[in-house]
Amino acid sequence: MRELFIPETKNPPAKVKDAGLIALVMEGGGAYNSKSGELILLPIGRSTLNSIAEDLGEALLETNGIQQIDCSDSDESVSSLAERYVRDHGEKALSWMLVSGRKLKLWGWAKDEEDAKMRASSAADTIRSIMERYIPDFDYLLEVSPGTVNRMVGVCRTGKGSLHEMEGLMCPGCETYFHRDSAYVYETEPVNSGCGMEDVRDVHTPGAHTIPLLCEQLGIDPSQTLKAMLYTVISPGGKKSLLFAMIRGDKNISINKLAAYIDSKFRGAVFRKAESEEIVSSFGEVAGFCGPIGVPEGVHMVADRSLVGGKNFVVGGNRPDYHRTGCCWGRDFEPDTADLLLFEESMPCPECGTPMVPVQLRKICTIECYGSEMRGESVLSCRDKDGERRWPYRWKAEVSLEALILSFYEKKEKRLRNEIFKDD
């Protein structure tokens, strides 16, 4: 007797808010143990999950040449395969995948940063092509993250209280997803780009130690100002240095993006907000009035890209109760630049300008690439008749098959609607 056990029910599981989990249980695809938090897949749920996983695996093999294996999912095990076979088999030994613990994991090696980005992007495109069959609103977020040169997170919209959820932002106009640390990859019009450069002038601004107070005194918009934040960077050897991070006055700095910048410039260092004594020892008593002109020697500076090319900023005067007007990028200051922008609710969508709103997203997969030495990992290499060959960059991906199956059941009605009206 080969009939599948499919215990459909009209009663949703108690105390469960996840729409995908509710649909899965009610359609007989699984059971949920609320005490342990375990999702138990029943035969039809397991069969569906295996079918989607097979689609992913076949597409990644066919399109990207990624070989599927069965071993422990440790990095050491897969690295040993690459080391064993790369000299004699070349390209075929540079990427592997396996299914373990309801996760599809992928590993790959590359000759340089651009090659790693290309391979990761190609795998991401293949994954997207399969995901969109089952999850109509699947999309990627591009993240800035420490220890990586590129990181993508595959998500779809869900409800609050769902498994594998994360807080995000959505544009109601174009339905693009973002989150707090999304990479800002859009062109920005420099501040006052159509104006000439003004002379730098000192302006008395008593008590204006915040952007709102400064704007109120001078009658200006926050976008015309420069916001300064000071941090103490502590190297692995214990040496401390001051970091001056700056962004446009109407924006805020993402700590995770700042961490990624510090990781790239001060390998192995940690950082924290600078204490008042540390600021005083470099700048003097200027809390709330720090600016980029005349910064003391030894203070490292980094600016968000929103400041690049801007003219006539109002900045701190590096003395109490004073600011400077007419400060211009390139002429008066030009530090390192990085993407430091924190995405926040009500910010204009960079795609269409509509204010963004909070949304709950389900995290389905991650794809990242990085230099092996960035994480203290050994570099893949081999020696043949032509000498030594090296693959110093890596890329990895991980697909949560559990998040995928929950999204599959949650989006069932949306898939049906799309199918019905696709030709309209």
Give me the DSSP letters along 296-312.
Answer: PTT-EEEEEGGGTT--S
Q: Residue 112: what pLDDT?
A: 95
> What length is written for the chain?
424
Q: Residue 416: what pLDDT?
A: 56
**Residue 369 contacts residue 149 (beta carbons within 8 Å):** yes
Q: Residue 420: what pLDDT?
A: 46
Q: What does CATH list as the number for 201-338? A: 3.90.960.10
Query: Nearest to residue 155, comparing CAs of 403, 380, 321, 343?
Result: 403
Q: Residue 34: what pLDDT?
A: 85
Longest CA–CA separation in the chain, Å: 89
Q: Which two tokens mark 211? A: 């952007």
Q: Residue 424: what pLDDT?
A: 52
- Domain ranges, ordered by start, for the chain: 19-184+355-421, 201-338
User: Which residues does 177 contact at the CB level (< 8 Å), separation at least 6?
Assistant: 139, 141, 155, 157, 168, 169, 170, 359, 361
DSSP class of residue 172 equals: T
Which amino acid is located at 67 in the chain?
Q
Please give the chain's pLDDT, 424 residues, in tens: 467 788 888 888 888 999 999 999 999 999 998 888 899 999 999 999 999 999 999 999 999 999 999 988 888 999 999 999 998 998 899 999 999 989 999 999 999 999 999 999 999 999 999 999 999 999 999 999 888 888 999 999 999 999 999 999 999 999 999 999 999 999 889 999 999 999 999 999 999 999 999 999 999 999 999 999 999 999 999 999 999 999 999 999 999 999 999 999 998 899 999 999 999 999 988 888 999 999 999 999 999 999 999 999 999 999 999 999 999 999 999 999 999 999 999 999 999 999 999 999 999 999 999 999 888 899 999 988 778 999 999 999 999 999 999 999 999 876 655 554 455 5
Sign of the alpha-carbon dihedral angle for 253, 255, 260, 266: positive
Q: Which two tokens mark 1? A: 């007797």
Q: What does CATH list as the number for 19-184+355-421? A: 3.30.930.10
Q: Which two tokens mark 253? A: 């700095």
Q: Residue 418: what pLDDT?
A: 57
Q: Read off the pTM.
A: 0.89
Q: Residue 35: what pLDDT?
A: 86
